[in-house]
Amino acid sequence: MTKRFGVAVFSIAAHITIGVAIIVMSLLSAEALPTPRRVLAFEFHERIVRLPRDIELPAPRRTPATPAGSNRAQSLTQPAAPAAPVVAPDGLQAETGLNEATAGARSSAGAAGAAGAAGVDAIETTGGIVDGIGVTELPPPIATPAPPIRLHSGMAAPRKVRDVVPIYPAMARAVRVQGIVILEAVIDMSGRVESARVLRSISLLDDAALEAVRQWRFEPARLNGQPVPVVMTVTVNFSLQ
pLDDT along the chain (241 residues), means of 10: 77 88 77 63 61 64 60 51 64 60 54 47 44 63 80 89 94 94 95 95 95 95 92 94 77
The secondary element (H helix, E strand) that includes residue 184 is strand 179-187
pLDDT at position 124, please? 44
Name residue 165's amino acid: V
pLDDT at position 127, please? 45
**Separation CA 104–CA 93 (nearest Å):** 18
The CATH class of the 173-238 domain is alpha beta
Q: Residue 47: how many CA atoms within 13 Å on its side-chain side?
A: 4
pLDDT at position 119, please? 46
Parallel/antiparallel/unpaired status of strands 149-150 and 230-238: parallel
**Separation CA 44–CA 227 (nearest Å):** 111
pLDDT at position 128, please? 45
Spell out the domain ranges in the chain.
173-238
pLDDT at position 8, please? 83
Using alpha carbons, list the distances in angstroms from residue 200 to 181, 191, 237: 6, 24, 12
Instruction: Categorise residue 47: left if φ over 0, alpha if ψ from -120 to 50, beta otherwise.
Output: beta
pLDDT at position 222, please? 93
